[in-house]
Chain A
Amino acid sequence: MEKPKITVKFYRTRNRLLEKAGGIGTTAENNSFPEGLIEEAESQFQEQISDYPEWVQGTLNRLTSLVEVCINFPNKRVVSYKQIQEIAHEMKGQGGTFGYPLVSTFGDSLYDFTGLNAGVTDNHVQVIKAHVDAMKATITGRIQGDGGEIGIQLKAMLAAAIKQYK
């Protein structure tokens, strides 16, 4: 009788990274990072992200330019939306990491408003502009965390713009 053809292979290899990190005989259960290391790294992390508002200006300027293109050149809206959406996706990821979760919130919403079936009317462009304005206000005003009262106002302003133009 002919032997069946091998269709599945299971590779059971020793995880050398575990031994490399913890030495011979190390198990996943009895190991952790050295005490205090994560706290120290966190402190460095916080220091590094403090210059995010300066660094992100270039990205915000790019977003502003793309919105201007959408306003002035209706035939370029679809192409510009794609670029805006890519930036919105990045901003969504960055905002929370750098202490600006409102930027993530606005970025997430902007991502949806520039998706495949997004409208190309002047009103829709105004909704996109309102998102970019809200992101700029968050960064310019250094509105970290939920932003408290100002954060609530910014969200309300964006919601009002969406309601007005949608």
Chain B
Amino acid sequence: MSEFDLSGFNILVVDDNKYMVSLLRSTLYGLGVGNVKTFDNAKEAIEFMKLVKDNPVKAGVMQIDFVVSNWQMAPIDGLMFLRWVRSHKESLNRFIPFLMVTGFGDQTKVEEARDLGVSEVLAKPFSVLSVADKILQIISSQRQFVQNKDYFGPDRRRRIVPYNGNDRRTLNDKSPEVKVIYE
């Protein structure tokens, strides 16, 4: 068993509540993260991500490893921010892991975020352990990304569960309508 070293990681945190930002920042530093860049609104976070893409020297970081964002914010909430990250042509990296922090615990809300391409959801109230667990999941994720006319994001099927019934999925890797891209 070896140990993770997150000292080379750059993480972007967005929350309009200054106290929560501060708590998330110190929690991430406590877990060994090297650099945590914080914003109290998504608009500034987007501007910063564009700057990292266009001029990383000026931005002070060469890349961002993943994003942690609160859901309920104004005027741009976490979902709109996620949509920008996953779909906008100016996005720094459409594949970047995105951790949504939210007090919305109900299944419908979580599915709403999932269908916009969220990587993981961190429920409030959170603890150091729950943050650490989500970081481990993001770092260890081997999920492919899926792109079709309605969705772009991490594969929403997290597990391969044996199924004995008829396979109703119309496409697979061998279908001519499917392109598999390895990088």
A residues sitting closer than 8 Å to B (CB atoms) are 3-15, 17-18, 20-23, 26, 28, 30-35, 37-38, 40-42, 44-45, 48-49, 52, 55-56, 86, 89-90, 92-98, 101, 104
Q: Are A7 and B148 also in contact (CB < 8 A) when A14-B183, A28-B140, A45-B26 are?
A: yes
The SS class assigned to the A binding surface is: helix
B75 vs chain A, min Cβ distance (A): 13
B2 touches A23 (CB 8 A): yes
B30 touches A15 (CB 8 A): no
B30 touches A45 (CB 8 A): yes
Name B8's closest neighbour in chain A (CB-CB).
A20
Determine the chain B residues whose CB is within 8 A of the CB of A11 once the complex forms: 95, 144-147, 181, 183
A44 to B131, CA, bound (A): 14
B90 vs chain A, min Cβ distance (A): 19
A89 touches B125 (CB 8 A): no
B95 touches A31 (CB 8 A): no
Determine the chain A residues whose CB is within 8 A of the CB of B155 once the complex forms: 10
A49 touches B124 (CB 8 A): no
Determine the chain B residues whose CB is within 8 A of the CB of A86 once the complex forms: 72
A4 touches B177 (CB 8 A): yes
The number of residues on chain B lying at the interface, defined by a beta carbon within 8 Å of a beta carbon of chain A, is 57
A13 to B147, CA, bound (A): 14
Among B17-25, B50-58, B158-166, the stretch that binds chain A is: B17-25
Determine the chain B residues whose CB is within 8 A of the CB of A4 once the complex forms: 176-177
Q: Are A94 and B125 also in contact (CB < 8 A) when A9-B147, A18-B139 are?
A: yes
Determine the chain A residues whose CB is within 8 A of the CB of B179 once the complex forms: 6, 8-10
A54 vs chain B, min Cβ distance (A): 10
Q: Can you list 9 A-B pairs with a CB-CB distance of less than 8 A?
A: A10-B146, A13-B95, A13-B182, A18-B139, A31-B1, A41-B30, A45-B127, A94-B17, A97-B125
B125 touches A42 (CB 8 A): no
B178 touches A8 (CB 8 A): yes
> Is B27 in contact with chain A by the CB < 8 A criterion?
yes
B141 touches A15 (CB 8 A): yes
Determine the chain B residues whose CB is within 8 A of the CB of A6 once the complex forms: 177-179
A44 vs chain B, min Cβ distance (A): 5
A8 touches B181 (CB 8 A): no
**Known A11-B183, A33-B4, A94-B20; 16 more pairs at CB < 8 Å:** A6-B177, A7-B171, A10-B146, A10-B178, A11-B181, A12-B181, A13-B145, A17-B97, A18-B140, A20-B9, A31-B4, A34-B3, A45-B127, A48-B23, A89-B104, A93-B125
Determine the chain B residues whose CB is within 8 A of the CB of A31 once the complex forms: 1-4, 140
